[in-house]
Amino acid sequence: MDQVWAHEAPVTVRDLFEKLREDRNIAYTTVMSTMDNLHRKGWLARERDGKAYRYTAVSSREEYSARLMREAMDGAADTEAVLSHFVAQMDGAESAALRAVLDKLAGRTS
**Cross-strand partners of 54:** 47
Section 4-28 average pLDDT: 94
Tens-digit pLDDT profile for residues 73-107: 999 899 999 999 999 999 999 999 999 999 999 88
Tens-digit pLDDT profile for residues 33-73: 999 999 999 999 999 999 999 999 999 999 989 988 999 89
Residue 43 has φ and ψ, to the nearest 5°, of -85, -30
- ∠ CA 64-9-25 to the nearest 5 degrees? 75
